[in-house]
């Protein structure tokens, strides 16, 4: 197949070389890549994966991908993940799947970060989908909520079936209500200064390439040097 005919998950395999350490993201797009990578591994490709969540680790094992803990690797060659919003500068909002902190740690340890999205995830400015996930320590959840409100970022702790969502780190997710974000990096720094915040879903200046899965095939966007 030509690159134009490949899906984003399959095209992402072109970023992986034999012997690489590969960060494995969380969510539907990342799952598609894990399955595609598993096919290559079963065909003889030698890689090791560093999963960003327990769910991804389980899927990778099912797909016969050997895994390593982050502490056991010196660095990661490439991480393949999804995103919830991508702006024209390839800044991201992530975390709708509640794995944002581990995803950011793995991305920061990687030489390259490649993001897989559908065209509906492309936005003119971050915040168009209305929320930023923020991971907070349970002990500080109430005070974090008041800090966010004072910053004009109302919202709520995420719940499912009447129970608070708990991350793999044992923390809660607060979904801050937002509109257009003029300076994503500055807002990320501001939120991270709130005591009790572990990390935010703003990934500013981290993605090297975004593969957009369109009907005609995958389109590659690259961050300007």
Sign of the Cα pseudo-torsion (193, 194, 198, 199, in order): negative
Q: How far is CA 199 from the centre of its chain?
A: 12
For residue 141, the tally of other CB atoms under 10 A from its CB is: 16
Task: Please say if 120 is a catalytic residue.
Answer: no
Alpha helices in 63-177 (DSSP H): 100-108, 141-150
| Of residues 198, 202, 168, the one with CA closest to residue 184 | 202
Helix axes 54-62, 28-42, angle to 10 degrees: 30
For residue 123, the tally of other CB atoms under 10 A from its CB is: 17
Specify which residues 163 forms β-bridges with.
160
Burial class (CB in 10 A: 0-12, 13-18, 19+), 79: buried
Residue of 39, 62, 85, 103 marked active site:
103
Residues assigned a catalytic role: 103
């Amino acid at each position: 197949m030509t690159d134009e005919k490949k899906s984003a998950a399959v095209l992402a395999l072109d970023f992986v070389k034999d012997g690489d350490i590969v960060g494995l993201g969380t969510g539907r797009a990342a799952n598609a890549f894990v399955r595609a990578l598993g096919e290559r591994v079963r065909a003889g490709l030698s890689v090791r994966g560093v999963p960003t969540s327990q769910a991804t680790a389980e899927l990778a094992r099912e797909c016969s991908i050997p895994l390593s803990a982050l502490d056991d690797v010196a660095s990661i060659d490439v991480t393949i993940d999804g995103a919830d919003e991508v702006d024209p500068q390839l800044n991201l909002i992530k975390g709708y799947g509640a794995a944002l902190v581990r995803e950011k740690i793995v991305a920061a340890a990687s030489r390259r970060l490649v993001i897989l999205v559908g065209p509906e995830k492309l936005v003119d400015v971050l915040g168009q989908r209305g929320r930023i996930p923020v991971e907070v320590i349970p002990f500080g959840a109430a005070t974090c909520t008041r800090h966010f409100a004072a910053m004009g970022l109302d919202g709520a702790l995420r719940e499912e079936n009447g129970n608070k969502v708990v991350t793999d780190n044992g923390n809660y997710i607060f979904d801050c209500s937002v509109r257009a974000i003029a300076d994503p990096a500055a807002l990320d720094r501001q939120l991270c200064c709130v005591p009790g915040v572990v990390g935010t879903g703003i990934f500013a200046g981290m993605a090297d390439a975004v593969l957009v899965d369109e009907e005609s095939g995958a389109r590659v966007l690259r961050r300007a040097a």
